[in-house]
Chain A
Amino acid sequence: MGRDRFRVQALRMAFVTASWNPLGEAFYRKLELYEMSWSIRDGLRDSLVAAAPYGGPIALLREPLRHSPSSRPQLEIYSASGIAITSFPWKSGPVVHLGWSVSDELLCVQEDGSVLIYDLFGSFKRHFSMGQEVVQSQVLEAKVFHSPYGTGIAIVTGSSRFTLATNIEDLKLRRLPEVPGLQGKPASWVVLTQDRQTKVLLSIGPELYILDNTSCTAVCPPGLSPHAGSIVHMSVSFSYKYLSLFTDSGHLWAGLSNLQEKLIEFDTKKTDRPKQMLWCRRPKSQQPSVVLMWERLLLVVGECNDTIHSTLTQNPIFPVVDVSFLVGELDGVRIINSTNQELLQEVPLVCQDIFKIASMAPGALLLEAHREYEKSSQKADEYLREIKEQNVLEKAVQQCVEAAAHEYDPATQKSLMRAASFGKCFLTDFCSDHFVSTCRELRVLNAVRESSVGMPLTHTQFKQMTLQVLIDRLLFRQFYPLAIEICRYLKIPDYQGVNRVLKHWASCKVQQKELSDDAIARAVCVKVGESPGVSYSHIAAKAYECGRTELAIKLLDFEPRSGEQVPLLLKMKRSHLALNKAVESGDTDLVYMVVTHLKNEMNRGDFFMTLRNQPVALSLYRQFCKLQEQETLKDLYNQDDNHQELANYYVTVSYREKRLESRLSQLQNAVDEYNKAKNDFAAKATEEEMRLLRFQRKLDDEKGAGLLGLSLQVTMETLLSLGLHKQAEQLYRDFKVPDKR
């Protein structure tokens, strides 16, 4: 019975394992991802190709080297499934290298060292230069690389100097030290990110050098035979952990990128330089391997334990019919040619366990049991009992779920998931979270793998890039409805999910030049509505960036938080509107912010005029002036013809004057202003005070009575107590004091 089972199983598994090729202990498989939707006349020949990892878009620049000044190369951008996104003639200078940034922007490095950045839809975003001296010396080669700091660019110039920028979002150019003995560009070079440092590894003949910020050091890979010849090609793995070198004698050396250990050494017996060499390695895989591609040959070289020399999975298995392009991924290599696209990867261990011919793994048994069950065969029970006897049912379910995640074909996914679901019926306390989340994730992945969307992500890649980033990528590609569907399906909190999508959508919407301001504002309002977390000011800021100030103002009207409205309005130079909004908000901090802004922005007269129409702002500014700028306060009252306040101001100032003369003159100013204000009572009172002060001064000088500053009544009392009755009498008469005293 047992043998019989194996035979049946072997037949069934055959279709899954047909594409498997053994390499040492591991298997490699090629999965067909897409039949490319594009129709490229000359294939990929003579084109500059850049394809972003994680199922990113593909950019093609046809015939980058101009044959004649009049013919312009065509820049084309495709989705990973080959759907044309955009195409336009390249009008700038000759392009040396194309690359994609982590946020799906296309970087075009030109010969003169300038880097032009385009978005996915081919619209120009910005540009920067890799240094002035490059204009002269020209870029010979450039590389775009990704590190924890973001997307970086490295170039080597005609004067054999390397320049690095580790993050294009925060551009800091680093010119690396000179490499002794280097003429032109090195035979091969790569960028390495190690110990939070970005370095360049380069080869001159058989020598290998590491170039960092300060120095250039010669290094020697352990175990590379001295007769191997010059190093003509090298590549680092996705994680910068492994390095492979290819010499002109056909030797391949692979090891750790810190050059501490050799993993593989292999003689390919091919002396011509491979077109591409990439690492093909999944995280936690059994062994690393290197994929080399020549014109008509693809070679996978891995480490093999049973022989000292590494063996080669014999070459004809991956014939290359057409000009192809390899894209290194986290867990494999994508092979793109003019007709189709495939993923070459090591078969995950769990899939091996399940699908390997004659496998006795619990998962394999469970899958078989389920198959029999669907056929209503009693054999299902036998298989199941066998699993149960070994007490591995839970493991079996887990294996099926995991394997389903790694499978690309929905039918295989389904049969595995069904088996898992069948198995878990027989488990009492099974936590189905993993099962459910895998189901959901697979649905999402299948949706984005659709040719129309074109993001051939594996489950491992998806886990690595996270859902947030996946949604971001969908947003960059403007798949808004799909993004919203995914957010809703995965029940992501609105704040991070749907609303974020809406925000992007709205920001994109405001850039549609053909629609009128009103139409856009209305459309945005209808869709976005009152969704929390979608900031109208953010959308408005976008609109303003696109030069649509009026639209921005319209959108700002929807913004409930004035704290967000006002700064943008200021930026748009709508100061009056900003002031109005700030005052309406009742938030004095905002008002004050606008006032300070206006103060620096406008000339004094206009500034005061503006304030006059806003009593709240005015009183706030006055309050500030009282403490900070007394003089301004005066000007402010002057401007307003506010004689009453101006007079009060003079009176206040007079108290601060130590000298009597200046105090009197300030008081005289006050009298004038009181008169202008038609406040004759105050004017008279001030005059009297001046008279009193003079009188007190006189008496102080004459008799030393110490009267200055006392009130009239106190003065009189003091005079009386000093026995100066005559003077008191005089005061009494002069100031018409009521008779009460």
Chain B
Amino acid sequence: MARRDTPELPDFSLLKRLARDQLVYLLEQLPGKKDLFIESDLMSPLDRIANVSTLKQHDVVKLYKVEYKPTVSLSDQLCFLIRPRIQTVKWICDVVNADKAAGRFRRYKIIFTPQRFFACEAVLEEQGVFGDVTTDEWAFYLLPLDDDILSMELPEFFHDNFLAGDQRWLRTVGGALHLLHSVYGPFSKLYGIGSCSKMTYESWREQVEQGEKQVRPAEIGSVFLIDRDVDFVTPLCSQVVYEGLLDDIFRIKCGCVEFGPDVTSSDKSVKVMLNSQDKVFNEIRNEHFSNVFGFLSQKARNLQTAYDRRQGMDIKQMKTFVSEELKGLKQEHRLLSLHIGASESIMKKKTKQDFQELLQKEHCLLEGFEIRESISFIEEHISRQISMIESLRMLCLLSITENGLLPKDYRSLKTQYLQSYGFDHLLTFSNLRQLGLLMEQQGAETLTAMESKVGKLVNDKTAGKITDAFSSLAKRSHFRALSRKLNLVPKSDEEYDLRVPKDMAYIFSGAYVPLSCKLIEQVLERDGWVGLEEVTRLLNGHEFAVTGGSRAEASSDAQRLVLVMFLGGCTFSEISALRFLGRAKGYKFIVVTTAVTNSSRLLEALLGNRV
């Protein structure tokens, strides 16, 4: 059944080279010595593209972080590398105007990445500095985090798009897709679900039509676009796969994690790159955490025997050992000890928080059992003020899986939460409600009745819009029904062997198959949405499946490469699940995401008291 011959991945380091070359070109456009201001969240992505010495080679004298403070730079030329955010542009305007007031003449250049927005230029104009600065675009759309993960590093996409309804990033995402399309050849088929996906697809199509047409060999088979709001359950669950756990606990930033003193068992923090180059990590990243320890100890033993071989060696053997193997072993040793440290630290933290109980309650919620117990668990969680985000997470999970809370529970839980964590979360609740993450149960009848009433009053066109509005209002989760339809929750009476996972549920200890990945599996299997009509209806539709229009048939290897694009972020667990699916079915998945997310990042984006 399982196919072992997974196809080769295209070389994504090309994207890095392209980005670097363009950046260098842009820097050269402002000849002479200059200071570079970099938006703080662009720091680490930039580091992966061009390091400081590369920048220095191109006359960048000093690097500053954008901190919204008056500048101290003495250079005559300032270059700003920023995201197209109004706030940052306003700060630049202040800098320019301050210089003007002081009678200081400098040259300014703003490089927007990945593209400039009209709004930003409008701000420049409004503040009267449009003529003083030159602007440019650095088309840095995709950062390859690993061989199979490309990230746009746009965490705000989720907030802006889903909460604020601001669609300006869609074109950017379309641009990213266009970039992949133009570098790695035509796609044979595109699938997608969700309104964002649809719009992204349209934006991409438009860009393809406008761009020059050149025939390239297809290196990627099909493309799957999925909105984050199609599946909120998966990112809200606690992650138990090693990489996901690391992200939940230590926060992986741009493919890099910082281990504190408790892991390194010294007083220094260590930054570690987490990718397939790290041999130890590569073998455990997708494993369920319960397996990791066994694996690591086995590895340690192997390492020890490798070291032990030294004993019986003569000088010559020793020489080759030192020159060839020792370095690798040392490296491996270092990494191994780090990962063991990390695992220990995870164990400590997780047992402290009654992690097992938490997981058990989560599983109950997913299965729909013992709801009352879960509610009281959450109440206790709230009143003990264990963690603001965790409490919120459990609340949301409860609401989604239960298709909204009973009015009584809704009010009392909210009150308790506000009393415990502060009144300002009133706005958070309003945000969550808007996204359908935390809702009051509503009779479906009342809604349809209201809808038809309104529908009669207005003409057809607006009626359509209102229906849309209602359906988004009624973004109620039909999790239970979906779960039954797609068999997301395996029967709990069967023993699940986590060592030999049989399906994607292993990433949640066998309790739940991530909805997003299940959809992908189903659609690829059926080559479209046929037979999934009921499911898409429950998910509010907007599904599509189109042929990419590439006449040249892709090689069979490329056909089995599937590009999955998560709009609004995806979790490491989902990536692990897809890797498992790929191994099982002979696909290879490339994950493109607006940003790697997890439950905390997701909810933090929705907190009402930010700004």
Contact = CB atoms under 8 A, between A and B. Distances in A.
B395 to A, nearest CB: 15
B423 A587 contact: no
B427 interface: yes
A627 B86 contact: yes
Interface in A553-611: 560-561, 585-590, 592-593, 596
Interface stretch (A17-25, A251-259, A681-689): A681-689
Contact of B419 (A585, A626, A627, A713): A713
Given A592-B122, A685-B415, A685-B423, A713 B164 contact: no
B419 A712 contact: yes
Contact of A589 (B117, B411, B421): B117
14 contacts: A586-B167, A586-B202, A587-B171, A588-B118, A588-B166, A589-B117, A613-B462, A616-B167, A619-B165, A682-B430, A685-B414, A686-B423, A735-B419, A738-B416
Contact of B426 (A593, A686, A740): A686
Interface of A: 560-561, 585-590, 592-593, 596, 613, 615-616, 619-620, 622-624, 626-628, 644, 648, 651-652, 655, 681-682, 685-686, 688-689, 692, 710-714, 735, 737-738, 740-741
Contacts of B415: 685
A685 B422 CA distance: 11
A367 to B, nearest CB: 48
B460 to A, nearest CB: 15
Contacts of B44: none
B465 A615 contact: yes
B544 to A, nearest CB: 15
B87 A627 contact: yes
B420 interface: yes
A428 B517 CA distance: 69
B119 A740 contact: no
Nearest to A716: B419
B164 A596 contact: no
A534 B104 CA distance: 47
A682 B429 CA distance: 10
B167 A588 contact: yes
B383 interface: yes
Given A588-B117, A714-B385, 18 more contacts: A560-B209, A585-B206, A586-B170, A587-B171, A589-B168, A592-B118, A592-B122, A622-B164, A623-B160, A644-B430, A651-B424, A655-B609, A681-B411, A682-B430, A711-B422, A713-B419, A738-B379, A740-B380
B318 interface: no
Contacts of B379: 738, 740
B118 A711 contact: no
A738 B418 CA distance: 13
B440 to A, nearest CB: 9
A404 B117 CA distance: 58
Contacts of A713: 383, 385, 419-421
Contacts of B411: 681
Contacts of A740: 379-380, 383
Interface in B156-191: 160, 164-168, 170-171
B151 interface: no
Contacts of A735: 419
Nearest to A587: B171
A741 B168 contact: no
Nearest to A589: B118
A586 B199 contact: yes
Contact of B122 (A590, A596, A622, A626): A596
B203 interface: yes
B320 interface: no
B451 to A, nearest CB: 17
Nearest to A692: B423
User: How many B residues are at the interface, by size bracket?
Assistant: 35 or more
7 closest residue pairs by CB, A with B:
A619-B165, A588-B168, A711-B422, A589-B118, A689-B423, A712-B419, A713-B420
Contact of A624 (B119, B209, B416, B469): B119
Contacts of A652: 427, 608
B326 interface: no
B426 A651 contact: yes
B123 interface: yes
Given A561-B210, A586-B203, A592-B119, A616 B419 contact: no
Nearest to B388: A711
A656 to B, nearest CB: 9
Contacts of B86: 624, 627-628
Nearest to A713: B420
B201 to A, nearest CB: 10
A681 B380 CA distance: 22
Q: Which of B90, B418, B419, B422 has the most CB of A within 10 A?
A: B419
Contact of A712 (B202, B420, B465): B420
Interface in B383-424: 383, 385, 411-412, 414-416, 418-424
Nearest to B431: A648
Given A586-B167, A588-B117, A648-B430, A685 B418 contact: yes
Interface in B450-486: 462, 465, 469
Interface string B112-130: 0000011100110000000
A606 to B, nearest CB: 18
Contacts of A589: 117-119, 168, 171
A291 B416 CA distance: 105
B392 to A, nearest CB: 14
Contacts of B609: 655
Interface in B89-120: 90, 117-119
Contacts of B171: 586-589
Contacts of A622: 164
Nearest to B383: A740
Contact of B424 (A561, A644, A655): A655
A737 B424 CA distance: 18
A620 B422 contact: no
A689 B427 CA distance: 13
A318 B167 CA distance: 78
Interface in B198-217: 199, 202-203, 206, 209-210
A292 to B, nearest CB: 55
A260 to B, nearest CB: 41
B339 to A, nearest CB: 38
Contacts of A681: 411, 414
B594 to A, nearest CB: 16
B545 to A, nearest CB: 20
B118 A593 contact: yes
A711 B414 CA distance: 13
B43 to A, nearest CB: 23
Contacts of A561: 210
A737 B164 CA distance: 34
Contacts of A737: 419
A741 B385 CA distance: 11
Contacts of B199: 586
A590 B168 CA distance: 10
A666 B380 CA distance: 33
A682 B166 contact: no
Interface string B337-378: 000000000000000000000000000000000000000000
A714 B164 CA distance: 32
B166 A623 contact: yes
B161 to A, nearest CB: 10
A613 B170 CA distance: 21
Nearest to B199: A586
Interface string B131-172: 000000000000000000000000000001000111110110
Contacts of B206: 585-586
A622 B122 CA distance: 15
B380 to A, nearest CB: 7
A184 to B, nearest CB: 48
Contacts of A685: 414-415, 418, 423, 426
A738 B419 CA distance: 10
A711 B423 contact: yes
Interface string B565-582: 000000000000000000
